[in-house]
Amino acid sequence: MPEIIQSICILDDDSSVLSSLQQLLDSDGFAARTFDNPDRFLAYAQEHAVTLVLLDVWMPGTNGIEVQERLHEFSPGTRVIVMTGREEARVRDAAMESGAFAFLVKPFDDEAFLTLVHSAVDGGS
């Protein structure tokens, strides 16, 4: 079972996604903090060590790629799993070029998702 000291954050503007991912992570022994606002997440991440962020691409006012780039300016070691409801090659390429650990299209398989989270928090590639 993972250690609770791993800090996982979820950033998505959809409350149902936040809730379901938090429950899924909780069921596997992870504690996750949720955010529905990019600025609140970035403010939190500036003050706390974040191991992994699960980051939605399409949010009002900004997009996940911009958030990822801003995050890596002050926290380059934070791993990012980018999530989106739309498969777009240019978005995937931008996310991976900006240093994303992985790129997922919603909906995704729970077991594959948890395997990816374990790999990210354990420092895998």
pLDDT digits (tens, 9 = 90+) for 92-115: 999 999 999 999 999 999 999 999
CA distance 112 to 62: 28
pLDDT band at 124 (very low <50, low <70, confident <90, very high): low
Question: What are the residue ranges spanned by the domains of the chain?
Answer: 8-121
Are the CB atoms for 74 and 43 separated by under 8 Å?
no
What are the DSSP calls for 79-122, one per residue?
EEEEEESS--HHHHHHHHHTT-SEEEESS--HHHHHHHHHHHHT
Preceding omega of 107 cis (within 30 degrees of 0): yes
**Looking at domain 8-121, does it have CATH number 2.60.40.1180?**
no
User: According to the model, what pLDDT value does residue 60 have?
Assistant: 85
Tokens of 97: 């070029």
pTM, two decimal places: 0.91
